[in-house]
C-alpha cells in the first residue's frame, strides 16, 4: 500500500480527492493532507509518502518550491500536480522537475483519477522492483485528454482541421499559409499545464511533419533547423509559446528559401525516385528495382546516374540516413533497431553509411542533438 499526501490550500479540493474514490482498493493509503508547501514539507519529513499530489499556486510556499525542496532529498519522489489556472511558466517548471502526471481540478472524474492512479502504481511498482526510474508518463505527443476534448470539443475539432490544412500546405509548398496556421494553432484558450499539454501535442505534430518533409524532399535536417534544438520537447521547454511559434515559422521561412532542385527527370526515373521514397525500408537492390520497372539493371544504373548524378544505392542510402536521423532525434530506439527499421541488412553497414555521410556515428549524432 503506497502512502499519499495531498497538498492544496483549498479545503474543497483536498476533500474532493479524498472522497472521489476508494484509495485502498487502488493500492494507496491517504496518509496526510496539507494546506501549503511549508506544512507539507514538515509532514513529508516524518511520513515520507510515496506519492505527493500538490497544487501549484498556494500561499506561504507554492507547489514548485515544495517539489524542488523534496527533489533535493529524494530525486525519485513521485509527484502529481493538481492543475487549474497556473501560469505557463509554472507549467514549464513543473515539467522540468519531473512531474509524473497532472489532474485537472475543474474536470476531474472518478474514472480519470483511477486511470491516473493506475499509471502511477505501475510506475511505483516498477521503480521498487528494479530500482530504475521509468520515464515520465507526461510526455510530448500524448493525445489530449478526453476530459479536455469533452469540455472544448469545438476548439479541438478546429485545431485538428488546422493540422490537416497545415500538412496540405507543406506538401504544396505554401509556406506562407503554413506559417499563419502555426500562429493560429499556438493561440489557445487554455492555461498552465493544460496549455502546455495541448501545445506539446501541437509542437510534436508540427515538428514531425517538418522532419518528414525533409525526408521526402531529401533536405538534411540540420539545413532546416539550423542552430535550434532538434526535439519538440526542447522547443517548448526552452521557450514561451510565442517564441516557440516564431521558431517554427522561422523554419518555414527557411524552407521557402532553400533551393528547389531544377532537374527534369524522365518519367521512368521520377517513378523510381517515388518508389525509393515510399519503400526505402524494404530490401531494395538495383536488380529488384529494375525488375519492378521492367528494365535491364545496366540500363537503369546508367540512366539513374546520368539524371541524378548519383548511383541508385547512394540515393537510397541518403534517404535511409535522413530517416535514421529523424528516429535518432525523436525516439529512444537503439541504433541497431533503427538500422533495421530504415532498411539496412546489418548494423555494421548502417554504421559505415552513417559515418560516411554524417561524419559521426549514430550514437555521437544523438549525443550532439541532445546536448
Instruction: Note the pLDDT of residue 291.
Output: 93
**Which cell numbers hold the place of 199?**
501545445
Residues 6+ apart with CB under 8 A from 302: none
Closest C-alpha among 311, 325, 314, 316 to residue 360 = 325
Task: Report the distance separating Cα 321 and Cα 26, nearest Å.
Answer: 47
Percentage of the chain beyond pLDDT 70 is: 88
Per-residue burial over 21-31, b if 16 or more Cβ lie within 10 Å, else e, is bebeebebeeb
Task: Report the distance separating Cα 43 and Cα 214, nearest Å.
Answer: 53
Looking only at the bridges linking them, the beta strands covering 51-55 and 28-34 are unpaired
Q: What are phi and psi of 55, to 5 degrees?
A: -75, 165
State mean pLDDT over 105-126.
85
Instruction: Note the pLDDT of residue 130.
Output: 65
Average pLDDT score, the chain: 83
Pick the more confident residue, 71 or 235. Answer: 71
Query: Chain-centre distance of CA 110, in angstroms?
Result: 28
Instruction: Note the pLDDT of residue 68.
Output: 93
Instruction: Note the pLDDT of residue 144.
Output: 55
Pick the more confident residue, 187 or 256. Answer: 187
Instruction: Note the pLDDT of residue 66.
Output: 94
**262 falls in which pLDDT band (50, 70, 90)?**
very low
Instruction: Note the pLDDT of residue 143.
Output: 54
Residue with C-alpha cell 514548485? Answer: 64
Residue 101 pairs with which residues in a beta bridge? 80
Q: What structural domains does the chain harbor? A: 2-130 (3.40.50.2300), 146-257 (no CATH), 267-369 (1.10.10.60)
Query: Chain-centre distance of CA 127, in angstroms?
Result: 23
pLDDT digit string, tens, across residues 55-109: 988 999 999 999 999 999 888 899 998 876 777 888 888 888 888 888 877 777 8
Closest C-alpha among 108, 44, 109 to residue 78 = 44
Share of the chain residues as helix, strand and coil, in percent rounded to the nearest 5: 65, 10, 30
State mean pLDDT over 217-234.
69
Packed helices 362-369 and 312-330: angle between N→C axes, nearest 10 degrees: 50
Instruction: Note the pLDDT of residue 365.
Output: 83
**142 falls in which pLDDT band (50, 70, 90)?**
very low
Residues 348-356: contacts with CB under 8 Å, at least 24 apart: 350/324, 353/317, 353/320, 353/321, 354/321, 354/324
Task: Report the distance separating Cα 344 and Cα 109, nearest Å.
Answer: 48
Secondary structure string (H, E, C) spanning 237-297: HCCCHHHHHHHHHHHHHHHHHCCCCCCCCCHHHHHHHHHHHHHCCCCCCHHHHHHHHCCCH
pLDDT digit string, tens, across residues 152-161: 667 778 888 8
**Which cell numbers hold the place of 351?**
554504421
Instruction: Note the pLDDT of residue 243.
Output: 85
**141 falls in which pLDDT band (50, 70, 90)?**
very low
pLDDT at 246 over 80: yes
pLDDT digit string, tens, across residues 27-54: 999 999 999 999 999 999 999 999 999 9
Percentage of the chain beyond pLDDT 90 is: 26
State mean pLDDT over 166-188.
85
pLDDT at 313 over 70: yes
Instruction: Note the pLDDT of residue 47.
Output: 92
pLDDT at 204 over 90: no
State mean pLDDT over 270-296.
91
Instruction: Note the pLDDT of residue 30.
Output: 92
pLDDT at 139 over 50: no
Whether the pTM exceeds 0.75: the reply is no
Closest C-alpha among 129, 198, 212, 200 to residue 166 = 212
Please state which of the ranges 155-159, 320-324, 344-348, 367-371 shows the lowest mean pLDDT.
367-371
Amino acid at each position: 500500500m503506497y502512502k499519499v499526501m495531498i497538498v492544496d490550500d483549498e479545503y474543497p479540493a483536498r476533500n474532493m480527492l479524498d472522497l472521489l474514490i476508494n484509495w485502498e482498493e487502488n493500492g494507496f493509503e491517504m496518509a496526510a493532507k496539507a494546506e501549503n508547501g511549508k506544512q507539507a514539507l514538515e509532514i513529508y519529513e516524518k511520513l515520507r509518502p510515496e506519492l505527493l499530489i500538490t497544487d501549484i499556486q498556494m500561499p506561504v510556499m507554492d507547489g514548485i518550491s515544495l517539489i524542488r525542496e523534496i527533489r533535493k532529498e529524494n530525486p525519485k519522489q513521485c509527484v502529481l500536480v493538481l492543475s487549474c489556472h497556473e501560469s505557463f511558466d509554472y507549467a514549464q517548471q513543473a515539467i522540468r522537475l519531473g512531474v509524473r502526471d497532472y489532474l485537472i481540478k475543474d474536470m476531474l472524474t472518478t474514472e480519470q483519477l483511477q486511470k491516473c492512479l493506475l499509471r502511477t502504481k505501475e510506475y511505483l511498482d516498477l521503480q521498487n522492483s528494479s530500482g530504475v526510474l521509468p520515464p515520465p508518463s507526461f510526455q510530448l505527443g500524448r493525445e489530449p485528454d478526453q476530459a479536455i476534448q469533452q469540455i472544448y470539443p469545438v476548439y479541438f475539432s478546429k485545431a485538428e482541421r488546422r493540422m490537416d490544412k497545415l500538412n496540405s500546405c507543406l506538401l504544396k509548398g505554401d509556406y506562407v499559409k503554413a506559417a499563419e496556421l502555426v500562429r493560429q494553432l499556438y493561440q489557445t484558450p487554455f492555461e498552465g499545464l493544460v496549455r502546455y499539454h495541448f501545445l506539446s501535442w501541437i509542437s510534436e505534430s508540427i515538428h514531425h511533419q517538418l522532419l518528414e518533409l525533409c525526408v521526402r524532399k531529401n533536405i538534411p535536417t540540420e539545413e532546416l533547423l539550423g542552430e535550434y534544438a532538434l526535439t519538440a520537447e526542447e522547443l517548448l521547454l526552452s521557450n514561451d509559446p510565442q517564441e516557440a511559434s516564431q521558431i517554427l515559422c522561422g523554419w518555414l521561412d527557411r524552407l521557402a528559401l532553400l533551393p528547389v532542385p531544377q532537374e527534369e527527370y524522365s518519367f521512368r526515373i521520377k517513378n523510381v525516385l517515388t518508389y525509393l521514397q515510399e519503400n526505402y525500408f524494404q530490401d531494395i537492390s538495383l536488380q529488384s528495382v529494375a525488375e519492378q520497372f521492367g528494365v535491364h539493371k545496366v540500363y537503369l544504373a546508367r540512366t539513374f546516374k546520368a539524371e541524378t548524378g548519383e548511383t541508385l544505392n547512394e540515393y537510397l542510402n541518403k534517404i535511409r540516413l535522413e530517416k535514421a536521423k529523424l528516429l535518432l532525434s525523436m525516439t529512444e530506439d537503439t541504433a541497431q533497431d533503427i538500422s533495421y527499421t530504415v532498411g539496412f541488412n546489418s548494423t555494421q553497414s548502417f554504421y559505415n553509411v552513417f559515418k560516411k555521410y554524417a561524419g559521426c556515428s549514430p550514437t555521437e549524432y544523438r549525443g550532439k542533438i541532445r546536448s
